[in-house]
Structure 1
Amino acid sequence: MNEAAAFSDDAFLGGRLRLRQPISGHRCGHDAILLAAAVAARPGDRVIDLGAGVGAAGLAVAVRVDGLSLTLVEIDPDLAEIARHNAAANALSADVVVLDVTSEASAFAAAGLAPDSADVVLMNPPFNDSGRHRSSPDAARATAHMAGPSTLEAWVHAARRILKSGGALTLIWRADGLGEVLSALSRGFGSLALLPVHGEAGKPAIRILVRAVKGGRAPLVLLEGIALNAPSGPASEVVEAVMAGRGTLPLARP
């Protein structure tokens, strides 16, 4: 298959963000755009996207917020190269680092990601339980989706290490894994805000968006959920605005 046939060029945020991505393997979708819309960032913030893939979530934040210092961290060098292309193609400034999120602090520091250096971290970790889901035969898709017993804890630990005190972590995870999220965030994080995401209105949530503050002490807040597919109404209007690049989610407005 030639290079042109192996990739697609897709529009996000109502055409404000165009992303090259492999036709096979893990592809960007609702999760990345919802995650980006949940990130509270301000001009001048240092923002780190862990497990960035082709850069969708981090670049979507940069489209919305001018003047970020953005770093995209990705383990797969091929995806990292596509992320570099996507940043340049959208005239967005981003450093792209090839690094395993579970690496030691010394590897992060060598890559320019020292402890207590980030204002904001966002991440969409692999979250399918390898014991409950059959792994994809596509290696890239399997790496992007399959989680081991310690995956979430390791990713949260990395985020906690590089965040400044008072910095915020925003992540997306399976809704039925909320207990794992709360457990992983119980060490060093507080001021949690949770936003359930329902596939269809009236049905159980399928995702949970979480914002947590390093060293935060405020009580946990559970926000009203949103539905990806809903009858006309406020919930569907919020999602439509987010997908079109015209709005954010409540987590982005602390």
Structure 2
Amino acid sequence: MPADEAASTVAGAITTDSVLGGCLTLRQPLAGHRVGHDALLLAAFAPSDRRRVVDLGAGVGSCGLAFLTRVPQAQAVLVEIAPELADLARDNAALNGLSARVEVVAADVTGLGRPSGPALPPAGAADLVLTNPPFNDTAQHRTSPDDARARAHMAGSALLKDWVRAADRCLAARGVICLIHRPQALAELLAALDGRFGAVEILPVHPRPDRPAVRLLLRAVKGRRTPPTLLPGLILAAADGTPTAAADAVLRHGAGLAQAGLAQT
């Protein structure tokens, strides 16, 4: 899904887009993977009492910056493997007046928290990790010819486990991981979290009341062993296509899901 209020300015291969009802401005490539609802929903699902945030696979910074826009006391490290996207994330932090609260690291997520990895984010220091991991199994889907788009969408279950382990290394005890994925990956998600995270909360996201969920938002706590909980679902639009009040509050006004009456934290 495209970002709301899309593409106001095009400069070469870069567009400047307004999201969250104008609360956040993002520069992003015109071609390839584009900012959509997933990043904004993930930012809205994250608990607002967290202050030391790591965004894994940050792209142009949409999720991490959306969270910082809602939670002014927080600081974030945005981690992105593609240098050109990391540069845009840095530009976007400055564009939104968030540079003092943001560090951008161009690195492979799987190297985080290791002696041979980057100095930032430091191991065991974060209290929140946000991640929108690659979705699709490369064995079942044709890979996009666009490298950035392929990185954003293609992955197997082994890579999902690697990203969860990286989150575990970044987080302090009782730190929280929040992620978004497809419903078909629920078993793999729970398996990846098992042994490291518990008290998993699962929130289905439905396009309309009569449609199956198209996304799952998951939140879990490092070191907990409490069984999973299925939360009431978020419906994005009514049967006639009109955005629901909850979706409008989150996607156009930058509210957290708790503020919208869902996913209390």
Q: TM-score, normalised by structure 2?
A: 0.89
Aligned residues: 250
> Per the alignment, in what secondary structure is the counterpart of residue 157 of structure 2?
coil
**Aligned match for 1:70, one of 72, 76, 84:** 76
Give the match's secondary structure for 1:205. coil
Query: Going by fraction, where is helix more abundant, 1 or 2?
Result: 1
Contact 2:66 2:254 in 1 (8 A): no
Matches within 5 A, 1:150-229: 150-229=158-237
Tell me the CA shift for residue 220 of structure 1: 1.8
Alpha-carbon deviation of 1:218? 3.1
Q: 1:60 aligns with which of 57, 66, 71?
A: 66
Q: Secondary structure at the match of 2:207?
A: strand
1:141 is the counterpart of 2:149: yes
* Structure 1 CA distance for aligned equivalents of residues 184 and 227 of structure 2: 22
Give secondary structure in 1 for the equivalent of 2:244: helix
User: What amino acid is aligned across from residue 53 of structure 1 in structure 2?
Assistant: G
User: In 1, Cα distance between the equivalents of 2:189 and 2:248?
Assistant: 27
CA drift at 1:248 = 1.6
Give 1:228 deviation, angstroms: 2.3
Distance 2:240 2:206 in 1: 15
CA contact (8 A) 1:37 1:252 kept: no
User: Residue in 2 aligned with 1:11?
Assistant: 18
Alignment partner for residue 49 of structure 2, among 31, 35, 42?
42
Greater mean deviation of Cα atoms: 81-90 or 224-233: 224-233
Matched, 1:128 2:139: no
SS in 2 for 1:10: strand
Offset of residue 69 of structure 1:
1.8
Do the aligned residues in 2 keep the contact of 1:129 with 1:147 (CA within 8 Å)? yes
Q: Segments of 4+ in structure 1 off by > 6 A?
A: none
Cα distance, 1:191–1:76 mapped onto 2, change above 3 Å: same
Paired position in structure 1 for 2:252: 244
Aligned equivalents of 1:39 and 1:14: distance in 2? 19
Structure 2 residue matching 1:102: 3-state secondary structure: helix
Aligned to 2:115: 106
> Cα distance, 1:4 vs. partner?
1.3
In the TM superposition, what is the alpha-carbon distance from 1:95 to its structure 2 partner? 0.2
Instruction: Quote the sequence identity (%).
Output: 49
What is the root-mean-square deviation of aligned Cα atoms in Å? Answer: 2.0
Offset of residue 76 of structure 1 = 0.3
Contact 1:226/1:236 (<8 A) preserved: no
Residue 114 of structure 1: CA displacement? 2.5
- Identify if the C-alpha distance between structure 1 residues 5 and 204 changes in structure 2 by more than 3 Å, giving closer, same or farther: same
One-letter code of the match for 1:86?
N
State the one-letter code of the partner of 1:106.
P
Q: Which amino acid aligns with 2:104?
A: V
1:84 aligns to 2:95 (yes or no): no
The answer as to whether partners of 2:157 and 2:188 remain within 8 angstroms in 1 is no
The one-letter code matched in structure 2 to 1:31 is D
